[in-house]
């Protein structure tokens, strides 16, 4: 169908349907090249803060220019999906980051983005667009800030005043002109340094710079080496997959509310397996139980490596 020409109506159609899909927030920014972000990213890479995540060096131009991803891009839509769990793990078991409690968020959000794009086609008209969920070359936190979602905390996470930071960020780039939200202009972290002080590996630096190569999440998920560096011994605080320390201590997360997304309901084994049961878990059982989980990212060998590291 031909595209209707009404930016206000189009914007409301998109935001209303995003809410129906369960997204907590939907904000829109004008698609422009992120020159300042490009300089920061280049500096970050040059300092080696990405460690062995060499993929971060790829597609640099695509990361900072939405028109490289969607020709004639006009708008960048940011969507937030809450993942804060109703229930949490036993404290004496190897710890798993809350984002990995339920079904793999990539699959959940990708499906929602496809449905949203289809809705745009049906109710607005012909449009080109692509959806992204953190595994693609998009600076989603920069776009979230520009769309008014919240501010970037000292721990590098997007923080909202209403519900803290336990959100996934999704991005949909489209070639439709829409009404644009004001960028979030204020930083409400103030003089607080709780996240910096609590980081077990000193990965949080000044000026909201994160040395990802020192982050527990990097070592337990992204690092594919068979051995974790010995100098990290005793610093993981029983984190087996990811780390939530900087978010758990953030005062803004006292406002977190449990997610209503059924796909993020915790897998029972995540909440209930003891240390001994994790250590005795077979590879076949791991594949069966966590076949739809983000824990697949590190594979069974990675879980074995991480368990051994935090328990010896």
For residues 80 and 61, give the distance between their C-alpha atoms in angstroms, rounded to a whole number: 25
Strand 151-152 relative to strand 158-159: parallel, antiparallel, unpaired?
Answer: antiparallel
CA dihedral 130, 169, 120, 128 (to 10 degrees): -20
Q: Which two tokens stand for residue 153?
A: 């905390």
Q: Which two tokens stand for residue 283?
A: 């590879």
Contact 240, 217 (CB under 8 A): no
CA 227 to chain centre: 26
For residues 266 and 132, give the distance between their C-alpha atoms in angstroms, rounded to a whole number: 24
Q: Is 175 a catalytic residue?
A: no
Q: Which of 157, 105, 103 is nearest to 132 (CA)?
A: 105
Strand 167-174 relative to strand 129-132: parallel, antiparallel, unpaired?
Answer: antiparallel
Q: 142 in helix, strand or coil?
A: helix
* H helix or E strand, kind and range, residue 309: helix 299-311
What is the Cα Rg of the chain in Å? 20
Q: Which of 36, 104, 134, 244 is catalytic?
A: 134
Q: Which residues, including other chains, have CB under 8 Å from residue 282's CB and lie 6 or more apart?
A: none
Contact 149, 48 (CB under 8 A): no
265-to-100, 163, 168, 222 alpha-carbon distances in Å: 10, 19, 15, 24
Active site residues: 134
């Amino acid at each position: 169908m031909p595209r209707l020409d009404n930016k206000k109506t189009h914007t409301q159609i998109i935001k209303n349907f995003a809410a129906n899909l369960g997204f907590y927030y939907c904000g829109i920014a004008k698609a422009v090249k992120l020159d300042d972000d490009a300089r920061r990213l280049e500096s970050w890479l040059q300092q080696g803060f990405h460690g062995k995540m060499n993929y971060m060096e790829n597609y640099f131009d695509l990361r900072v220019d939405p028109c490289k991803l969607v020709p004639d891009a006009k708008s960048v839509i940011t969507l937030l999906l809450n993942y804060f769990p109703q229930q949490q793990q036993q404290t004496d078991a190897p710890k798993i980051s809350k984002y990995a409690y339920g079904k793999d968020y990539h699959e959940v959000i990708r499906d929602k983005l496809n449905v949203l794009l289809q809705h745009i086609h049906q109710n607005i008209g012909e449009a080109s667009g692509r959806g992204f969920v953190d595994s693609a070359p998009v600076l989603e936190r920069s776009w979230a800030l520009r769309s008014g979602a919240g501010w970037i905390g000292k721990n590098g996470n997007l923080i909202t005043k209403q519900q803290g930071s336990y959100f996934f960020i999704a991005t949909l780039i489209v070639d439709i002109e829409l009404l644009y939200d004001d960028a979030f202009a204020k930083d409400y972290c103030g003089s607080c340094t709780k996240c910096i002080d609590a980081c077990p590996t000193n990965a949080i630096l000044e000026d909201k710079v994160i040395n990802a190569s020192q982050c527990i999440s990097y070592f337990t998920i992204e690092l594919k080496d068979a051995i974790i560096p010995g100098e990290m011994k005793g610093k993981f605080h029983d984190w087996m997959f990811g780390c939530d320390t900087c978010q758990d201590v953030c005062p803004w997360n006292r406002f977190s509310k449990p997610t209503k997304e059924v796909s993020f309901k915790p897998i029972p084994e995540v909440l209930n397996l003891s240390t001994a049961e994790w250590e005795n878990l077979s590879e076949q059982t791991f594949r069966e139980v966590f076949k739809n989980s983000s824990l697949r990212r590190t594979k069974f060998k990675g879980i074995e490596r991480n368990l051994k590291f935090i328990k010896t």
